[in-house]
């Protein structure tokens, strides 16, 4: 890491500011709306002409009693409309003459707006989404009833122009398709969600309509980021990278994990990322071996490693970054041993992250490096089997985007526009051995690794970077966060009174 590490990428920020940021008070027509239109166009292209597709917004969710959680929009609806407001529904009808995209938004409600804030007007919804046909939410039911009942809806001119005739013909011929983002079915007793509920109701009420699943289409679309999305993702990564650097400056023996978390999340908010992409993981000492440690309540001790896994949600896009570093500024030899194996695994994974390869190639390359490293450290005795999984316990590649573990097909070969992480980790939890069945082989394994366990116990290391594959190769979105032992120690030594 060079001394440029704290320099803002000012040129990039200026370009993005002009490209991305909407004026205060609301969105307007611009590059985002063009991109949203293109995203909807690609979905429309994959629907049969006699389809009616519906995408619902997420419900509000209760935190406790009369207080809600901060609103989190449904990712598919946000992807297609850019509208971060509950009570929004998108309808797409590829066979329509003029209005192939129809949006339903909440009615104005002065009393509610006094309590909760402004509700987009229909004009504002058009400006934000680029969709010109906007109705109020109360018209969704009459609209759907009209579509399935072959009757007029809205402006009489639409009926005159036989706007919906393709769909009506489809219903009459028994070939209409109700295209819903169903996704994998929920657990048998879990709530169904709007898509499954509506599918069931439609089956009960309407004949000549079959239900199809748009989830795989949407997942495949979201898997390949547009240039616009890649620009936002880059800016999201810049904020998260600075947050990690702020966390590194704050960490030291005697401070609490939550003080580091506070610096990280302060950075998000101060840079316009209005929330985290996932709850911050800030775990010191033995807590670094807990994959999703959330308490952040421990006082950090001299000699601890601190594992920080955190990233912001900026304009709906989230990267995923993890760093592990010594709170006193210097890795111990034992910590270095584990760290080197993790880094070697990530480097092997990065070499395999090429267009045409699959994520399984990354996984395999990293696992080979892990096995070789663990064997050398005496933490496994046999690199041919699954012993390494005692300490190497999770998958290391996932897509990133609107969801931190984003949708997308893991069998699809890597291609430009795909964004993902490579995140090997080793967690030397002595209790991991307790779960092994009591067999002669396992007894021998435990005895053989006992000296290494004594040396490495309670060390947890994960290193995670976010990447985008481009036409010219792999781009590391989180490259500014120091990663090698030298760079990490230099950064920590530069940050004051450690
Ligand atoms: Mn991750």
Strands (E) located in 273-326: 275-276, 281-284, 305-309, 312-314, 317-318, 322-326
Structural domains of the chain, ranges and CATH numbers in brackets = 9-221 (3.40.350.10), 227-493 (3.90.230.10)
Distance 18 CA to ligand 1 centre (A): 30
Q: 9 pLDDT band (50/70/90 cuts)?
A: very low
Distance 222 CA to ligand 1 centre (A): 18
> Among residues of the chain, what percentage have pLDDT more than 90?
92
Distance 462 CA to ligand 1 centre (A): 10
Rounded alpha-carbon distances, angstroms, from residue 284 to 154, 294, 299, 346, 476: 60, 11, 8, 22, 26
Distance 445 CA to ligand 1 centre (A): 30
User: Could you give the dihedral angle defined by the CA atoms of residues 388, 389, 391 and 394, in that order, rounded to the nearest 10 degrees?
Assistant: 140
Distance 272 CA to ligand 1 centre (A): 22
Q: 452 pLDDT band (50/70/90 cuts)?
A: very high
Bridge partners of 489, per DSSP, are: none
DSSP one-letter string for 228-257: HHHHHHHHHHHHHHHHHHHHHHH--TTSBH
Q: 496 pLDDT band (50/70/90 cuts)?
A: low
Instruction: Please report the pLDDT score of residue 302 as a whole number.
Output: 97
Distance 466 CA to ligand 1 centre (A): 9
Strands (E) located in 99-244: 101-105, 133-136, 176-180, 209-213
Distance 321 CA to ligand 1 centre (A): 7
Question: What is the Cα–Cα distance from 43 to 474, expressed in whole angstroms?
Answer: 27
Residue pLDDT, tens place only, 18-48: 444 443 334 457 999 999 999 999 999 999 9
Rounded alpha-carbon distances, angstroms, from residue 382 to 239, 431, 442, 454: 42, 20, 12, 19
Distance 360 CA to ligand 1 centre (A): 16
Reported pTM: 0.92
Distance 393 CA to ligand 1 centre (A): 13
Distance 464 CA to ligand 1 centre (A): 7
Distance 51 CA to ligand 1 centre (A): 36
Instruction: Please report the pLDDT score of residue 17 as a whole number.
Output: 45
Alpha-carbon Rg for the chain in angstroms: 26
Distance 357 CA to ligand 1 centre (A): 20
CB 492 within 8 A of CB 325: yes
For residues 149-163, average pLDDT: 93
What letter does residue 141 receive in the DSSP assignment?
H
């Amino acid at each position: 890491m060079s001394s440029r590490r704290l320099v803002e990428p000012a040129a990039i920020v200026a370009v993005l500011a002009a490209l991305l940021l909407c004026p205060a008070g609301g969105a307007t027509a611009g590059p985002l709306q063009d991109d949203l239109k293109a995203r909807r166009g690609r979905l429309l292209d994959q629907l049969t002409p006699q389809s009616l597709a519906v995408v619902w917004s997420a419900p509000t969710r209760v935190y406790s009693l009369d207080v809600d959680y901060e609103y989190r929009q449904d990712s598919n609806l946000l992807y297609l409309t850019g509208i971060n407001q509950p009570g929004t529904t998108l309808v797409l009808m590829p066979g329509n003459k003029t209005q192939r995209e129809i949006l339903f938004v909440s009615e104005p409600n002065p009393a509610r707006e006094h309590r909760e804030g402004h509700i987009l007007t229909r004009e504002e919804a058009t400006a934000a989404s680029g969709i010109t046909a906007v109705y109020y939410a109360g018209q969704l039911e009459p609209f759907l009833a009209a579509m399935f009942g072959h009757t007029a809806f809205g402006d009489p001119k639409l009926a005159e122009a036989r706007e919906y005739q393709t769909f009506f013909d489809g219903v009459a011929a028994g070939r209409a398709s109700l295209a819903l983002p169903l996704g994998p079915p929920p657990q048998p007793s879990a709530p169904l969600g709007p898509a499954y509920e509506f599918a069931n109701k439609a089956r009960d009420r309407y004949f000549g309509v079959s239900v199809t699943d748009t989830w795989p289409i949407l997942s495949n679309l979201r898997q390949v980021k547009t240039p616009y999305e890649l620009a936002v993702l880059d800016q999201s990564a810049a904020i998260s990278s600075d947050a990690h650097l702020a966390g590194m400056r704050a960490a030291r023996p005697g401070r609490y994990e939550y003080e580091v978390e506070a610096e990280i999340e302060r950075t998000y908010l101060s840079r316009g990322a209005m929330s985290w992409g996932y709850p911050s993981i800030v775990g010191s000492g033995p807590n670094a071996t807990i994959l999703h440690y959330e308490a952040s309540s421990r006082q950090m001790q001299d000699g601890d490693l601190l594992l920080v896994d955190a990233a912001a949600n900026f304009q709906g896009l989230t990267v995923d970054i993890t760093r592990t570093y010594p709170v006193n500024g210097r890795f111990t030899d034992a910590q270095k041993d584990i760290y080197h194996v993790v880094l070697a695994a990530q480097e092997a994974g990065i070499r395999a992250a090429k267009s045409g390869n699959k994520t399984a190639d990354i996984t395999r390359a990293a696992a080979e490096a892990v096995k070789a490293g663990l064997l050398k450290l005496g933490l496994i005795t046999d690199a041919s089997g699954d012993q390494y999984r005692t300490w190497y316990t999770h998958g290391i590649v996932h897509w990133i985007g609107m969801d931190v573990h984003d949708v997308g097909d893991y069998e699809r070969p890597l291609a430009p526009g795909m964004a993902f992480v490579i995140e090997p980790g080793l967690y030397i939890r002595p209790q991991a051995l307790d779960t092994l069945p009591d067999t002669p082989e396992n007894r021998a394994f435990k005895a053989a690794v006992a000296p290494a366990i004594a040396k490495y116990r309670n060390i947890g290391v994960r290193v995670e970077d976010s990447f985008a594959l481009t036409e010219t190769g792999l781009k590391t979105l989180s490259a500014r966060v120091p990663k090698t032992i030298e760079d990490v120690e230099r950064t920590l030594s530069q940050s004051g009174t450690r």
